[in-house]
């Protein structure tokens, strides 16, 4: 199982004339990425480095530019980052980069794209809170591990909130209103306390009516959201600093909005309008999150940095579903999920001004997961109770050596261990019989690494090539069965160039991807479980360009990805569910014996093959572009801005049915007009201006949808 990746960036300024301004001027204090004088800083590799000087394919977006581009939440990032796909799956989101990440909704599956908020790893349990007071977002494409705290096969995403700043009293207040009774208020204040201490307090409150009309009850997909964050930065001397943050968030939506997928069991109850729903059961979606993070740094006289990062998270979600999404049946499901995460990381970082530099580190993570689900199909409740404990550890490091003034080599490695234990029960509430055991245990370990060669003929150009191995842990599917880790061998080459105000990144990749994990029905037992289905190859090219010249700000990004799963047979669970509704765990009938549910099933009519099909959630082509031009009328600054994004076709299931399993391509256009006078800015904005109706994901037999056209006005006062 190997994957090769050619990494990259972009150039082609001649053919890409508009694009999302991927970078923005952001204060580099205490860990946010920065963009100043066309220099884009990447912090996710443990050092503050110019994007043009690092041999990794990355996209960096400044906090203020997120708002300009219409990026309000995590899933909006796919409209401004090449190769990124974020698909709604109800309780989780399927986050994939270059078609690698997460294709399963099982709580046993790890996420192949590692996400960090303020340096602390986030579990795959969905967290869709709005961005506010963000310093930067960094997206690294390809396997990470020799620098990054947790393992990842698809890439890593870093969300950095604004850090407190010493000696500067500043802040902002922002309010907005728009259609669908949209309203929000957010702000932040930075308070210096003497010369060595600073405190930053930020918060947000946001409400919005639903985009949907539910015929039989409360409309789901409303929004009532609150969040607050406090950061304290202390720098008693030039050799030591500490940054501690605490954050809370609460969100209520009234439930998820979805309709049955065409070609599935409840298609007959599907309405003819994506904004019209027909639930006959109440719905609910409440999310809470608390997080505390700390980062301590000590610098020696020889410029060696000792860094410690720790964090605690407590995420809880309470959901109530109308499982079939129609008024045809009484299928209800309640979910309560709680995940507590404890993380700790230690880095020792050398001076990087010498010919030989290095980074070593250690990582620890403990996840405690509680899942309580009640299914109530037609009045026959089934309880599912699961408790899991996961422990992940890693030792990692990388050395770099300048062979000459223009040539350097990088060598990195990581040793990882993973251990999971679980217990639970599947119970028929009446008469109280335990019919299943979702528990089990599993452990594995793995060595991964990276070898790279860099050629920098002058300060304006970098050429690089590397090979890297990524790994995603396995797990247990039952007390007696397990699935193996996924592995990716990534081969990449790339070029980054600077031409005055124009910066470009261009690259190509090839992946050898082994032991793809997916939920399938085992033909011999009829049991649906997570398994290693097959291998795959992924190859493609990516590019980005940024132009910052006077009043003009242009940027663009594109990616072409060609993925192919090798051949293996599997049971088409969706066709099977239509033919035999409610039947599960039925073994294969003896040869020549017809189906006799629930005792046995002849699965042969439902056997398909994956041979040559694309990876799930892997669009062949993605593109985004943005253009802004600033004009002055006296002291009044006027900036029109427009952005466009295209996300290609994606499949959500390996049967590749062009109607049932396809998430069709979509195109989004956003625009804004900003008037700024001294400390006051007023912004008229619109998102999805073409009112594109598009599917954002699937879960079971239901599909989710993106937001319609939204527009409004936003006012901001900065002090």
The average confidence (pLDDT) of the chain is 90
Percent of the chain with pLDDT strictly greater than 70: 93
Q: What is the pLDDT of residues 99-111, one digit of tens each?
A: 999 888 777 788 8
- pLDDT surpasses 80 at 378: no
In the prediction, which pLDDT does 8 show? 33
700 confidence band (pLDDT: 50, 70, 90): confident
Q: Tell me what the mean pLDDT of segment 319-345 comes to.
A: 91
Residues paired with residue 707 on neighbouring β-strands, in sequence order: none
For the entire predicted model, the pTM comes to: 0.91
CATH class of the domain at 29-568+610-718: mainly beta
In the prediction, which pLDDT does 23 show? 43
Local structure of residue 485 (DSSP, 8 states): P
CA dist 647 and 669 (Å) reads: 12
379 confidence band (pLDDT: 50, 70, 90): low
In the prediction, which pLDDT does 525 show? 81
User: Pairing mode, if any, of strands 528-549 and 502-521?
Assistant: antiparallel
* Nearest to 271, CA basis, from 579, 280, 283: 280
Q: What is the pLDDT of residues 39-88, one digit of tens each?
A: 666 676 677 788 888 899 999 999 889 999 999 999 999 999 999 999 98
Q: What is the pLDDT of residues 110-126, one digit of tens each?
A: 889 999 999 888 887 76
In the prediction, which pLDDT does 31 show? 41
Longest CA–CA separation in the chain, Å = 86
Q: In sequence order, what are the residues at sequence separation of 6 or more whose Cβ sits closer than 8 angstroms to the Cβ of residue 431?
A: none
Buried b (16+ CB within 10 A) or exposed e, 510-521: bbbbbbbbbbbb
In the prediction, which pLDDT does 103 show? 86
Q: Tell me what the mean pLDDT of segment 531-553 comes to.
A: 95
30 confidence band (pLDDT: 50, 70, 90): very low
- pLDDT surpasses 50 at 22: no
- pLDDT surpasses 50 at 453: yes
Q: What is the pLDDT of residues 644-658, one digit of tens each?
A: 999 999 999 999 999
In the prediction, which pLDDT does 10 show? 34
- pLDDT surpasses 90 at 581: no
Percent of the chain with pLDDT strictly greater than 90: 73
CA dist 207 and 556 (Å) reads: 32
Listed range (10-14, 53-57, 190-194, 571-575) with the worst mean pLDDT = 10-14
Q: What is the pLDDT of residues 262-282, one digit of tens each?
A: 988 899 999 999 999 999 999
Residue pair 675/634 in contact by the 8 Å Cβ criterion: no
Q: What is the DSSP string of 123-150?
A: -SB---PPP-SEEEEEEEES-B-SSSSS
Q: What is the pLDDT of residues 380-398, one digit of tens each?
A: 788 889 999 999 999 999 9
Give the number of other CB atoms < 10 A from CB of residue 187: 18
5 confidence band (pLDDT: 50, 70, 90): very low
- Residue for token digits 């990470």? 144
In the prediction, which pLDDT does 27 show? 40
What is the phi/psi pair of residue 37, to 5°? 50, 50
CA dist 199 and 197 (Å) reads: 7
Give the number of other CB atoms < 10 A from CB of residue 305: 18
């Amino acid at each position: 199982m190997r994957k090769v990746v050619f990494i990259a960036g972009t150039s082609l300024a001649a053919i890409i004339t508009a694009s999302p301004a991927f970078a923005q001027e952001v204060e580099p204090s205490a860990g946010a990425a920065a963009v100043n004088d066309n220099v884009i800083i990447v912090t996710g590799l443990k050092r503050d480095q110019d994007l043009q000087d690092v041999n990794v394919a990355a996209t960096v977006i400044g906090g203020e530019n997120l708002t300009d581009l219409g990026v309000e939440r995590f899933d909006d990032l796919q409209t401004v980052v090449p190769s990124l796909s974020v698909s709604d799956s109800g309780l989780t989101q399927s986050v994939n980069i270059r078609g690698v990440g997460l294709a399963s909704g099982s709580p046993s599956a790890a996420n192949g794209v590692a996400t960090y908020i303020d340096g602390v790893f986030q579990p795959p349990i969905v967290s869709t809170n709005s961005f506010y007071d963000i310093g930067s977002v960094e997206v690294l494409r390809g396997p990470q591990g020799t620098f990054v705290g947790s393992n990842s096969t698809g890439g890593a995403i870093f969300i950095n909130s604004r850090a407190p700043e010493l000696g500067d009293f500043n802040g902002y207040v922002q309010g907005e209103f728009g259609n669908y009774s949209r309203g929000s208020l957010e702000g932040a204040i930075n308070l210096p306390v003497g010369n060595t201490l600073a405190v930053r307090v930020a918060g947000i409150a946001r409400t919005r009516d639903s985009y949907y009309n539910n015929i039989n009850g409360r409309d789901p997909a409303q929004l009532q959201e609150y969040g607050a964050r406090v950061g304290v930065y202390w720098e008693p001397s030039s050799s030591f600093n500490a940054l501690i943050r605490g954050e809370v968030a609460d969100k209520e939506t009234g439930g998820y909005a979805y309709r049955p997928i065409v070609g599935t069991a409840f298609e007959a109850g599907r309405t003819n309008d994506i904004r019209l729903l027909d639930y006959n059961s109440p719905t609910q979606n409440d999310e809470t999150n608390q997080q505390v993070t700390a980062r301590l740094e000590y610098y020696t006289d020889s410029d060696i940095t000792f860094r410690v990062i720790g964090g605690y998270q407590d995420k809880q979600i309470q959901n109530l579903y109308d499982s079939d999404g129609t008024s045809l049946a009484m299928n209800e499901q309640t979910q309560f999920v709680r995940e507590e995460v404890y993380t700790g990381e230690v880095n020792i970082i050398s001076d990087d001004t010498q010919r030989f530099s290095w980074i070593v580190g250690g990582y620890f993570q403990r996840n405690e997961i509680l899942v309580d689900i009640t299914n109530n199909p037609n009045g026959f409740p089934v309880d599912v109770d699961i408790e899991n404990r996961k422990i992940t550890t890693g030792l990692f490091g990388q050395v770099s050596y300048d062979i000459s003034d223009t040539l350097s080599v990088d060598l990195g490695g990581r040793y990882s261990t993973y251990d999971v234990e679980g217990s639970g029960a599947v119970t028929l509430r009446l008469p109280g019989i335990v019919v299943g055991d979702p528990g089990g245990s599993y452990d594995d370990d793995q060595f991964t690494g990276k070898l790279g060669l860099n050629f920098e003929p002058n300060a304006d150009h970098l050429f690089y090539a590397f090979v890297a191995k990524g790994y995603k842990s396995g797990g247990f599917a039952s007390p007696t069965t397990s699935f193996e880790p996924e592995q990716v061998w990534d081969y990449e080459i790339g070029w980054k160039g600077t031409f005055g105000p124009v910066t470009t990144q261009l690259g190509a990749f090839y992946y050898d991807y082994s032991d793809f994990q997916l939920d399938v029905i085992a033909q011999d037992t009829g049991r649906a479980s997570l398994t290693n289905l097959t291998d795959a190859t992924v190859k493609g090219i990516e590019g980005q360009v940024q132009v910052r010249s006077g009043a003009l700000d242009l940027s663009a990004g594109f990616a072409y990805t060609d993925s192919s799963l090798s051949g293996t047979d599997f049971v088409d669970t969706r066709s099977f569910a239509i033919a035999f509704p409610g039947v599960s765990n039925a073994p294969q009938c003896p040869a020549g014996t017809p189906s006799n549910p629930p005792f046995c099933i002849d699965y042969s009519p439902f056997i398909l093959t994956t041979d040559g099909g694309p990876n799930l959630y892997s669009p062949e082509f993605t593109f985004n572009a943005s253009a802004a031009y600033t004009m002055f009328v006296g002291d009044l600054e006027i900036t029109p801005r427009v952005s466009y994004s295209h996300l290609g076709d994606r499949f959500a299931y390996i049967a590749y049915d062009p109607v049932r399993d396809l998430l069709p391509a979509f195109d989004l256009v956003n625009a804004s007009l900003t008037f700024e006078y001294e400390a006051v800015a007023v912004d008229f904005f619109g998102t999805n201006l073409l009112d594109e109706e598009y599917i954002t994901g699937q879960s079971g037999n239901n599909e989710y949808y993106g937001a319609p056209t939204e527009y409004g006005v936003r006012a901001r006062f900065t002090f």
